[in-house]
Amino acid sequence: MRTIPIDLGPRSYDVRVGTGLRQGVGPFLGERGEVSSAAVVSDSNVAAIYADDVLGSLRAANLPAGLVTFPAGEQHKHLSTCSDLYDALFALKPPLDRSSVIVALGGGVPGDVAGFIAATLLRGIRFVQVPTTLLADVDASVGGKTGIDHPAGKNLIGAFHQPAGVLIDVETLSTLPPEQLRSGLAECVKHAVIRDATLLDFIEDQAEALLDCQAQAMGELIARNVEIKAAVVSADERETGLRAILNYGHTFGHAIEAAAGYGNLTHGAAVGLGMVAANRVAVSRGWLDASVAGRIETVLARLDLPTRRAGLEVDDLHHRMLHDKKTRGGRIKFLLPVGLGQVRIVDDLTREEIRDGISYLTAS
Amino acid sequence: MRTIPIDLGPRSYDVRVGTGLRQGVGPFLGERGEVSSAAVVSDSNVAAIYADDVLGSLRAANLPAGLVTFPAGEQHKHLSTCSDLYDALFALKPPLDRSSVIVALGGGVPGDVAGFIAATLLRGIRFVQVPTTLLADVDASVGGKTGIDHPAGKNLIGAFHQPAGVLIDVETLSTLPPEQLRSGLAECVKHAVIRDATLLDFIEDQAEALLDCQAQAMGELIARNVEIKAAVVSADERETGLRAILNYGHTFGHAIEAAAGYGNLTHGAAVGLGMVAANRVAVSRGWLDASVAGRIETVLARLDLPTRRAGLEVDDLHHRMLHDKKTRGGRIKFLLPVGLGQVRIVDDLTREEIRDGISYLTAS
């Protein structure tokens, strides 16, 4: 087991990466002290596979524990789901109190929803994350972002609420659909490009073992990615500066993901395409060596992630980027790599550069 | 104008007390810098009287400003109201962003609801409180407690979210129903008993001016009470210790208020009765001088607040106290005064003492 400390002053916590950690939730809370009860919040899919393991470990640690679930799917990351969850949580016996702990079990959606519930229940109680997807392991589980969607946009309602701990159980990835595994791998490539060239070496070397979900390679990958994200988040908890570099690939990527329609393209696949487009602009500006851009494309392809996509409409994507919640006064923010391990934030891309980046993706 | 600094480290802010401050919201935000727009959140009653003044001052300061309201009344302090408010807020033009500010205009309910909206909109944006009731001025406006009710209990959903500033406009009290003014005065008596004997002298001296809502006496009263609450909250922001002393009169009081049914007894009137009951127990224990208890009753009576109430049912009230959210493991917390300006937290009241405290209130 590896432990990565997340340094956030009074809100510091540890991320643990290992095998079988879903059965260690009870002992983990036992170490905390002053825990009166626990409520596991999960979606219907994940609960069916792993809830019993987690509940069993809580009860073995003599903690009263309840389970509350909601239907799986991004479309349920909504205020009405929270309303149902509050009802179910307040009906638990013994009643939750300020010493209770929420256990967020599942991928990005259960993590975001359960975290938001914890942030707002009794004006904020502790929560522990037990992510079960690679994307949640390396991204959502670090940083304290919780929230739900609104018809006006994703994650528009939420809170920054740091977990009391994160237990990443590599074994849970064995039940993950392959495209979801690849989606997480794309975010790992992103971390490598923005902060750590040696991580790209590792991903290249271990590509097969990673696609095969081998525990040792996967544990190492997750730990290294958590360290990168932790360093960025520690330096900028509330996303006022440095944390923006995590959006590399995301400006183009969000637009591509949204245009594809929910469920037709994974988040990671869209971000991978977004990185390719951003790299193209960076190469055209003379900021990035073409050989580095080529190497990134090769890694993505090796991980079975798309590097081209037919049918993208430039005007539609440009319009979507203009209306992204991170766009201010018509100036769209982009992250452009200037080498492996380093990116630059810009908001001066011309319409022609944006068009060129997208067109590049559609070239066969 | 008086300014009381609230010392909460990086979350510090000022409370200003004066006349006409509702028209100073625009200039106040102008001083902050980096404010992109403002949204006034209020209830239907208060908005009808004061929204134009606030919106006018925002627009005069060249800030885009919108108004969003919900129906007045504690029964609307509910998640479904928040759902409507999110919809209305996300429909504003220009769209709110992380540099936008929510202006919470009104009494306790609008303050709690608007504060919770600010705590959860875009993962938390700044908000300014413009309270319009004496209770909100001296209680809810200091401390960062925001929240909404759930059928399982009051304020069960919420967040600690400190405002960027509080502008208390004494003039707004002129439109307050007399019983609501007296409700706020009861909380002022509470503050005097728990922390500041000289404040009780002031209330006794100025009782007539206060009941008449004279600006100078009222401004002085509010400022002194804000200082007391600020000192307590600064020492215990998240309510883990000292802040509990603010619950003097509230254990009996909440039960009496709930038993009376919504709208039949003001919060302050119930808390006043709760203080009388707690004093009775303290006197019986030999902790409080009977003359001090008598003096507190006289002050309450002078402020037209009840000190006796017919028809209280001991078993019903005891049951309600046992199920209060602050009760742990069947041990009910009480605050007993041990002199003017000092209270002690206890959880060892016998059933007989509780019965005696309540019976005392029903004696004619």
What's the half-sphere exposure (Cβ side, CA atoms, 13 Å) at B47? Answer: 17
User: Is the pLDDT confidence value at A347 over 80?
Assistant: yes
DSSP states of A79-97: HHHHHHHHHHHHT-SSPP-
Give pTM, 2 decimals: 0.93
Check B150 against A122: CB less than 8 A apart: no
User: Is the pLDDT confidence value at A329 over 80?
Assistant: no
Nearest C-alpha neighbor of A173 from the set A6, A18, A13, A15: A18
DSSP 8-state code for residue B296:
H
Check A147 against B86: CB less than 8 A apart: no
Q: What is the pLDDT of residues A112-133, one digit of tens each?
A: 999 999 999 999 999 999 999 9
DSSP 8-state code for residue B123:
T
Nearest C-alpha neighbor of A332 from the set A344, A319, A342: A319
Check B122 against A328: CB less than 8 A apart: no
Q: For residue A263, what pLDDT is reported?
A: 79
Average pLDDT score over chain A: 95
* B160–A contact, CB cutoff 8 A: yes
Q: In sequence order, which residues have a C-beta less than 8 Å from that of residue B56 and are 6 or more positions away? A: B23, B26
The pair of three-digit structure tokens given for residue A28, joined into one six-digit string: 């983990």
User: Is the pLDDT confidence value at A267 over 90?
Assistant: yes
Distance in Å, alpha carbon of B120 to nearest chain A alpha carbon: 5
The predicted model gives A214-241 an average pLDDT of 92
The predicted model gives A277-282 an average pLDDT of 98
Find the catalytic residue in B22, B145, B190, B320. Answer: B145
- A40: confidence class by pLDDT, cuts 50, 70, 90: very high
DSSP states of B68-104: EEE-SSGGG-SHHHHHHHHHHHHT-SSPP-TT-EEEE
Return the residue of B nearest to A326 by Cα.
B97
* Rounded Cα distance, A252 and A275, in Å: 8
* B159–A contact, CB cutoff 8 A: yes
Q: Are A140 and A108 in contact (CB under 8 A)?
A: yes
* Rounded Cα distance, B224 and B221, in Å: 5
Is B76 designated active site? no
Strand partners, A5: A14
Is B187 designated active site? yes
* B156–A contact, CB cutoff 8 A: yes
Q: For residue B177, what pLDDT is reported?
A: 95
Q: Based on the number of CB atoms within 10 Å of its own CB, is B93 exposed (0-12), middle (13-18) or buried (19 or more)?
A: exposed
Positions in chain B whose pLDDT score sits under 70:
325, 328
User: Is the pLDDT confidence value at A33 over 90?
Assistant: no
Is B333 designated active site? no
* Rounded Cα distance, B82 and B158, in Å: 11
Is B257 designated active site? no
Q: For residue B249, what pLDDT is reported?
A: 97
Point out the least confidently predicted range of A43-47, A322-326, B22-26. Answer: A322-326
* B157–A contact, CB cutoff 8 A: yes
Return the residue of B nearest to A144 by Cα.
B123
Q: For residue A348, what pLDDT is reported?
A: 94
Q: For residue A32, what pLDDT is reported?
A: 83
Return the residue of A nearest to B88 by Cα.
A152
Nearest C-alpha neighbor of B12 from the set B239, B234, B243, B236: B234
* Rounded Cα distance, A255 and A111, in Å: 23
Q: For residue B315, what pLDDT is reported?
A: 93
* Rounded Cα distance, B171 and B24, in Å: 13
- What do you get for the CA distance between the two ends of chain B, in Å? 44
Q: Are A181 and A32 in contact (CB under 8 A)?
A: no
User: Of A80, A146, A152, which has the smallest distance from its Cβ to B90's Cβ?
Assistant: A152
DSSP H helices, A101-249, are: 108-120, 134-135, 178-195, 197-205, 207-211, 215-235
